[in-house]
């Protein structure tokens, strides 16, 4: 039987904000927005026009991801940072990294495009796991 663990809403909220901060930095001019935009074919005007909707969707998906990640970390018994990061890496590798690989194989995008997107998910998930573990 599957039993849900207690939910720490403060931890979930903090993890969502931390993931949003990672996204804002990752896809900024400081890091990867230029190569990502070039490889994705999204120009500046198109990007700016869709940004409010994208941010809203991101916040919802971050909340779902943080909630599920928190449940998995608790079920895994990850009470400290190292086990939480290891568990998160395995989840990323088994579900996210392989799922995003279609962008290279089917969409014929460069491997660098995959690396930017998959790397972002790894970093954002790891940051969420650290926040969730720290605030538990």
Domain membership flag for residue 41:
yes
Domain membership flag for residue 2:
no
Q: Which one, of 73, 119, 85, lies nearest residue 100 by Cα?
A: 119
Report how many domains make up the chain: 1
Domain membership flag for residue 128:
yes
Read off the pTM.
0.92
Q: What is the DSSP letter of 107?
A: S
Residue identified by tokens 């990502």 is: 36
Half-sphere exposure in the Cβ direction for 104 (13 Å, CA):
14
What is the per-residue pLDDT across 29-55, written as a single tens digit (0 to 9) for each? 999 999 999 998 888 788 888 889 999
Domain membership flag for residue 99:
yes
Domain membership flag for residue 112:
yes
Domain membership flag for residue 39:
yes
Give the range of the structural domain holding residue 14, as residue numbers without chain letter. Answer: 9-134
What is the per-residue pLDDT across 48-102, written as a single tens digit (0 to 9) for each? 888 899 999 999 999 999 999 999 999 999 999 999 999 999 999 999 999 999 8
Domain membership flag for residue 4:
no
Q: Which one, of 64, 62, 61, 28, lies nearest residue 47 by Cα?
A: 28
Domain membership flag for residue 88:
yes
């Amino acid at each position: 039987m599957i039993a849900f663990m207690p939910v720490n809403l403060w931890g979930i909220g903090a993890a969502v904000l931390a993931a949003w901060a990672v996204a804002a930095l990752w896809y900024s001019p400081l890091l990867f927005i230029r190569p990502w935009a070039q490889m994705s074919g999204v120009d500046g005007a198109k990007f700016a026009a869709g940004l409010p909707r994208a941010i809203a969707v991101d916040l919802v998906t971050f909340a779902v991801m943080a909630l599920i990640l928190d449940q998995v970390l608790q079920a895994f018994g990850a009470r400290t940072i190292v086990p939480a990061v290891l568990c998160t890496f395995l989840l990323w590798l088994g579900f996210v990294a392989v799922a995003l690989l279609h962008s290279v194989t089917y969409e014929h995008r460069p491997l660098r495009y995959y690396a930017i997107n998959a790397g972002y998910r790894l970093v954002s998930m790891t940051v969420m796991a650290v926040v969730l573990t720290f605030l538990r």
